[in-house]
Structure 1
Amino acid sequence: MKNHYKRISRRLILSILILISCVFLTSLCVAPEKGREPVPEASAGPATPEMPQEPEVPELAEEALPLMATPHFTMEEYRCDCLGYCDGWPCAMEPELLEKIEALRCYFGRPVIITSGVRCEARNEEVGGVSWSFHKRGCAADLYCPGVGVGDLAAGAKDCGLNILPYYSSGYIHVEIIP
């Protein structure tokens, strides 16, 4: 059964990589070349060898591709989820934490869901976080991995060099690094 999930995960990752590659290559084809004058619109009728008609390709918005923190996680996944107390980034995420959570994702070979990354003071109080919370410094995250028990996830996180606090009854773990 474990090999079945590995095979599915690998195919899913491969599909995502192919999709991202296609989007990237499409954006290269769509981007105008510097110094190149625009081609005048062809009149109605068949294309001639001198002026071939190119299919219209919609321009990709810059916001179409999310900003990636690591190969498997977007920055948005780490953003403060308060109701507008801050701009979402009261502090920066520590690169070491991002790398170790990525390592944890690779360790299990399956998605890891981040439920809480960086927090502003107001959000930290709302969720009952301690006043010295590492979330407020970008050094902690709460996460779970579907199909992986809290104990196994905690052991894997420890193997990846993370400090952990398991919440067995809630089904997630708190991971952190010491800044």
Structure 2
Amino acid sequence: MKNFYKTISQRLILSILILISCVFLTGLSIAPEKVPVPQAEPSVSEPPPPPPEPEPPPDGAVIDHPLPEDPILTNGPWASAHFLMDEYACDCAGYCDGWPAAMDPELLEKIETLRCYFDQPIIITSGVRCERRNAEVGGIENSWHLSGHAADLYCPGVPYDEVARAARELGLGVIEYPDQQFDHVEIWSQKV
């Protein structure tokens, strides 16, 4: 019986050594050796060239805006089939109750139609705003966000100018922000 346990112990130790050797050798073959590349030292008399000026993205460019962090909340009152009312609420740091004005029902309907047109999420980055939040984000004094007649939005993966074109076809007023790749949409006829 002693020989039996001795044989099993030897085989177990041998198996472990083979396994460790395989893992070690596999690691060596996967990670190629990095050889430092000598670099010339920069000349002291020559200043580095200035960085190029950033150019606004061309029409049709898409900045990969992220979707909101998971989990996406689905409880609360709905503004439409795909949007919660909270998505339109003022995102200030507690200066107001989130609803300094009601959202225009026609705007909510047209944004829902826009979402259905692209058949993918539309992200509302700003809906109604209180005056203090509007000032913080650099909104104009009589912004239509203050009265619930405007929203800023984007559609991940869809160029902002395509979203703007579709919004205009729905009768929305649109201001495009190419540098930030989003659109401001508003109901012009309902301004109070």
Distance 1:113 1:131 in 2: 24
Counterpart of 1:172 (choices 139, 161, 182) is 182
Q: Where does 1:112-151 land on structure 2 (aligned, <5 Å)? A: 112-151=122-161
Q: Equivalent residue for 2:86?
A: 76
Question: TM-score normalized by structure 2?
Answer: 0.59
Distance 2:118 2:91 in 1: 26
Q: Equivalent residue for 2:163?
A: 153
Offset of residue 161 of structure 1: 1.3
Offset of residue 65 of structure 1: 2.6
| Higher helix content, 1 or 2 | 1
- Find out whether 1:95 has 2:112 as its counterpart: no
Offset of residue 159 of structure 1: 1.1
Report SS of the residue matched to 1:73: coil
Offset of residue 160 of structure 1: 1.4
Runs of 4+ in 1 over 3 A off after TM superposition: none
Distance 1:91 1:70 in 2: 18
Distance 1:158 1:107 in 2: 13
Q: Equivalent residue for 1:86?
A: 96
Offset of residue 151 of structure 1: 0.9
Which structure has the greater CA radius of gyration? 2
Question: TM-score normalized by structure 1?
Answer: 0.64
After superposition, what is the alpha-carbon deviation per residue over 1:76-120, rounded to whole angstroms, capped at 9, x for unaligned? 000000001000000000000000000100111110000000000
Distance 2:125 2:150 in 1: 11
Structure 2 alignment gaps of length 5 or more: 1-73
- Find out whether 1:108 has 2:114 as its counterpart: no
Offset of residue 157 of structure 1: 0.6
Structure 1 alignment gaps of length 5 or more: 1-63
Structure number with greater CO (CA < 8 Å, separation at least 6) is 2
Report SS of the residue matched to 1:106: helix
Letter of the structure 2 residue corresponding to residue 79 of structure 1: A
